[in-house]
Structure 1
Amino acid sequence: MACSVYSRWFALLMLVSVAKSTSTSTTPGGSGGGCAEDTCPTQSSSLLQAKKLAVHGAEDPLNRRAHVWRSEQRAGPALEYFRWWGAGKVDHSLATTLPGMDVEPDGEFSLAEAVVDEAATAELTQRGLVRALESYRGPCAESESWALHQGVTDERGVQHALLHSPGGKLQYVAAHSGRVLVADPQACSGHPAMIQEEPVPVTGNEQLLDSNTDPLVQDCVKLFHRTVKENCNKDFSINVLTAHLQVINGFAVFVKLELTAVDGTVLYHEPECEFQIPESPDASLLQDQELPEEETGLIATLRMDIPICLADKESSVSPAVASVMELMKQRRFGHLPGHKGYEHLDYGEAVVLPQVTDMPTDYDLRETYPMCYPDGGKEVVRDQGNCGSCWAFAGASALMANLCASGKGQDALFSATDRLEVSVQGIMSCNYNGYGCKAGNWGGIDSALKRSGIAKERDFKYQCRYYCGSAPWGATCSLTANPRWHYDGVTMVKGEEGMLRALVLGVGAHMVSIEIHLSFFHYRSGVLSESTGFLMGSHAVTNLGFGVEDGQKYWLVQNSWGTNWGQDGFGKLVRGVNFMGIEYRGEIIKGYVDGGSKIPCADAEYAGFSTCCTKGKTIRVTCADAKWYCTESKYNRFAATVTKNCPATCNTAFCGATAPTAAE
């Protein structure tokens, strides 16, 4: 089936008029007690065959939500959600692969034939898919009896497939010319097949979803509103604070939301939306003249701890959980690549730094450059407020730390007790990505600083402490850059050793991302070494040092939640175990002042692209082999990528240890 037709059908599915939902509540209007789980004959159960889903935040984690409403309207096909989550990775893989001369696509691998209703063709395609997947995953491959559930080929020839095992596992595969571009679940960490290695979620099989854009979250919200309207003859105003996903025999979406009643009362809830792959056609759920995509759509079920019609009268969470959800509105996150579907935004090659023969036990930029951290560092701590702009604050603080270190305080201080700061508002208002209070990443920082330069905070002040709704986030991009501050790009480091070397060798302070649980909110002192409570979001902070306290190794980070958090705005996170995902990678936001030292250049191991393919295999090109690609030409589309990742090999201009003095 052609992708354009498939997409139109899927779009029509989203516009289908709302059908009545079937409530299992025993009282008319859904306001009664609702049936117990084991007495509801129509509720979905196969979603739970592989794993029992827990009630997050409840005192008894094995007590399923008792109030269940099953919708007669199907959600989209499972493959469409996987395609949305994998779109950025597919684009990246296609854009960073150089076709080789020895392409030998597997003749059996042809998803284009998967839509043909012929058993022999389906069997052949299925076998080819499994073989390609096993080759891609290598040592991670599991012995599964996969069946092809859905498949489609898009206009670029990319073949998208969803495999389904008898045990309820789902596996998404996107392939081109016999080469697997994306697998979800992914290959194991560090496997050579992965052009860009991704972090293994530190929270097991829970994955964060972006509440602003994710289509499955949007469908969960629609399911909530639809259920309220059909059972209560009214609707509620809700705001999703966080959402995460579990994939079993379908999808389970857990959301934490605030509900504002008509009288202004704010209440908190944790509904669960289940989207189950139907085991067989169910005529009772299908509308007349359904499209094929509707027939394969997911069965939608809503679960809550209280009758939904009482949701504007009482909270369904404990007072303790409600207080945390209230706190989440005051202390926001905002690191976009920590959400499913946006992982590719953090792709990039990590530099290879020289070994440090005598690595110190402790290192603290506040002590190395005391002039840059007045009042022991307390003066430089900032507060992002209830805007999801941690990404901009973490990057701005890292850049300012590096600017100040560049000149040992020169051109970086308003006075001995007041350090100048990089304008966060400038980063938010001037980036081409539209990043702001609804999250972002280092790419937004890079585009803003390349576009407009570095402005002082006092000249272009932060406008979004109490939230801004949309770009350009409270101010237009009309700043005046400081002519004595110079932006020098982003360099990535990876793992504990890479981050240690970056600090000790003077490569610079860097922004890092972490997965936030409840324990991070309540941190006050010592070394935080346990993540307890539910998964709340993806956050960015600035890494300024490391050390050992009471026998525990730690990272020293600067947060952007004001001085009331942690130790005057700083915290110590256990080091060496990738705690909260902190050691996945760090982004050094490089800068220097007039006449100051410049962070030296260093090549990454790999140049940022690969050659393809012999029987689906790809070869990552190293910087040592990529010198020909340093020069831009009509035959070379990788020049910008290679010069960024291999500046020493490409002899990039001003790739030295000392920066020239800018003209006044």
Structure 2
Amino acid sequence: MKYVLLFSVVLATIALSYGGVKPHPLSDEFIASINSKKTTWKAGRNFDISTPLSDIKKLLGVLPKKPDAARKVSYRVHSVISDDIPESFDAREAWPECASIIGDIRDQATCGSCWAFGAVEAISDRICIQSNGTVKVSISAEDLNDCCIECGDGCNGGWPDEAWSYWQRIGVVTGGKYGTSDGCKAYSIAPCDHHVDGPLEPCGDVQSTPTCKSTCDEGTNIEYEPDKRTGLSYAIKSTEHQIQWEIFHFGPVEADYDVYEDFLSYKSGVYQHVSGDYAGGHAVKILGWGVENDTPYWLIANSWNEDWGDKGYFKILRGSNECNIESDILGGTPEF
């Protein structure tokens, strides 16, 4: 009996040494534990602790890798002269005539359509940039999410490279945020309070993918097929300077990466994974880079509205492929 009791004490000691009962990933204890490590970023409350983790994970809509035999976009490799790359860069400042497009933080709402949002945001930026600010349109996340069957499963997730391939082969119409009328197809899922209590309705269950419609919204006076925009899509070689060169010359890109539970509580600074389990794959838009307190970072726009993170943006460690952020980079050249 004595040995059984001793063995139990040893097991209990080991359990406590390795964390024992883990704090809830949205709890004050978990947030405090991140900040206690005094790393390069600060955590804070984004999501209410009552938010089911399963609901948050459904917003991480990048599906696992496709089979090797699946369609792939071509690669672009630049002849980079690293001395020509500035220490910091922000596409909103580099192309001020397009700042309203580039700086537009969208909301995927209760739908795992991040793969579509990252694509249409970067495409919208590039249309403005490469037209020298003469063409300012928002490309429709609704059209891409609902109509690209080969992209995956709409609100249940998709593949970013298929999104860019679809833009090249089929085309995507214009359309902005929920309730707007400045394009063919606005986003049909209402924004909601993903996070702490706010002015919007609370988010519920993840929506089913809306039905694909080959018509524009009522009252837009735009014809669907003629409104489709296309371009040449490609992947960028996964090195820091190649990605910088692409953004510096042609505009923001789409990236996907691995999300861990600590990322959900990001508030400021340069994110790098500190603690927490893997939560899923997510797609975003990279629009620049810089250095903060001697730490190099990528500047990124998320699609969880402006209440999340740093007014909808975040920074992540640059140059070491943190969370695979530099592994899958996509861009393209619009056709006019």
TM-score (norm 2): 0.70
Report the identity percentage.
25
Corresponding position of 1:501: 245
Give secondary structure in 1 for the equivalent of 2:242.
helix
Q: Deviations over 1:377-429 (max 9, x none)?
A: 2xx101111211000000010101101111232120xxxxxxx4211111022
Corresponding position of 2:138: 421
Unmatched 5+ stretches in structure 2: 1-6, 9-14, 25-46, 191-203, 217-222
* 1:533-544 matched pairs, under 5 angstroms: 533-544=276-287
- Rg larger for: 1
Q: Is the 8 A contact 1:499 1:586 kept in 2?
A: yes
Which amino acid in the other structure matches residue 173 of structure 2? I
* 1:51-450 matched pairs, under 5 angstroms: 61=18, 323=49, 326=52, 329-330=55-56, 332-336=59-63, 339=64, 348-356=73-81, 357-374=83-100, 377=103, 380-412=104-136, 420-433=137-150, 434-446=152-164, 448-449=166-167, 450=169
Q: What is the distance in 2 between the residues matched to 1:440 and 1:589?
A: 19
Q: Deviations over 1:29-70 (max 9, x none)?
A: xxxxxxxxx99xxxxxxxxxxxxxxxxxx9775769xxxxxx
Q: 1:386 to 1:330 in 2, by over 3 A?
A: farther
Q: Tell me which of 170, 176, 193 is aligned to 1:451.
A: 170
Q: Is the 8 A contact 1:463 1:475 kept in 2?
A: no
Q: 1:346 to 1:538 in 2, by over 3 A?
A: farther
Corresponding position of 2:193: none
Q: What is the distance in 1 between the residues matched to 2:50 and 2:75?
A: 36
Which amino acid in the other structure matches residue 393 of structure 1? F
Q: Tell me by how many angstroms 1:585 deviates.
A: 2.6
Q: What is the distance in 1 between the residues matched to 2:322 and 2:90?
A: 20
Q: Tell me which of 295, 305, 311 is aligned to 1:552.
A: 295
Q: Is the 8 A contact 2:270 2:292 kept in 1?
A: yes
Corresponding position of 2:263: 520
Which amino acid in the other structure matches residue 436 of structure 1? G
Give secondary structure in 2 for the equivalent of 1:371.
helix
Q: Tell me by how many angstroms 1:549 deviates.
A: 1.2
Q: 1:499 to 1:443 in 2, by over 3 A?
A: closer
Unmatched 5+ stretches in structure 1: 1-37, 40-57, 65-255, 257-320, 413-419, 595-664
Alpha-carbon RMSD across the aligned residues, in angstroms, is: 3.4
Q: What is the distance in 1 between the residues matched to 2:162 and 2:73?
A: 14
Q: Is the 8 A contact 1:396 1:424 kept in 2?
A: yes
Q: Tell me by how many angstroms 1:484 deviates.
A: 7.4
Corresponding position of 2:11: none
Q: 1:486 to 1:517 in 2, by over 3 A?
A: same
Q: What is the distance in 1 between the residues matched to 2:293 and 2:171?
A: 45
> When the two structures are aligned, how many residues end up with a matched partner?
271
Which amino acid in the other structure matches residue 334 of structure 1? G
Q: Deviations over 1:509-552 (max 9, x none)?
A: 21101111122111111211334211111000001111111111
Q: 1:368 to 1:324 in 2, by over 3 A?
A: farther
Which amino acid in the other structure matches residue 469 of structure 1? S
Q: What is the distance in 2 between the residues matched to 1:389 and 1:359?
A: 32
Q: Is the 8 A contact 1:430 1:452 kept in 2?
A: no
Give secondary structure in 1 for the equivalent of 2:121.
helix
Q: What is the distance in 2 between the residues matched to 1:59 and 1:523?
A: 27
Q: What is the distance in 2 between the residues matched to 1:385 and 1:355?
A: 38
Q: What is the distance in 2 between the residues matched to 1:469 and 1:59?
A: 42
Q: Deviations over 1:133-192 (max 9, x none)?
A: xxxxxxxxxxxxxxxxxxxxxxxxxxxxxxxxxxxxxxxxxxxxxxxxxxxxxxxxxxxx
Q: 1:345 to 1:584 in 2, by over 3 A?
A: farther
Q: What is the distance in 2 between the residues matched to 1:444 and 1:492?
A: 11
Q: 1:376 to 1:402 in 2, by over 3 A?
A: closer
Q: What is the distance in 2 between the residues matched to 1:402 and 1:482?
A: 21
Which amino acid in the other structure matches residue 85 of structure 2? M
Whose strand proportion is higher, 1 or 2? 1
Q: Is the 8 A contact 2:126 2:333 kept in 1?
A: yes
Q: Deviations over 1:459-516 (max 9, x none)?
A: 212124564325xx24423344485774212111122121011012x23321101111
Q: What is the distance in 2 between the residues matched to 1:401 and 1:437?
A: 23
Q: What is the distance in 1 between the residues matched to 2:250 and 2:302?
A: 21
Q: What is the distance in 2 between the residues matched to 1:561 and 1:394?
A: 12
Q: Tell me by how many angstroms 1:591 deviates.
A: 1.7
Which amino acid in the other structure matches residue 80 of structure 2? Q
Q: What is the distance in 1 between the residues matched to 2:267 and 2:48?
A: 21
Q: What is the distance in 1 between the residues matched to 2:114 and 2:309?
A: 16
Q: Tell me by how many angstroms 1:432 deviates.
A: 3.1
Q: What is the distance in 2 between the residues matched to 1:394 and 1:485?
A: 18
Q: Tell me which of 292, 310, 318 is aligned to 1:567.
A: 310
Runs of 4+ residues over 6 Å off in structure 1: none
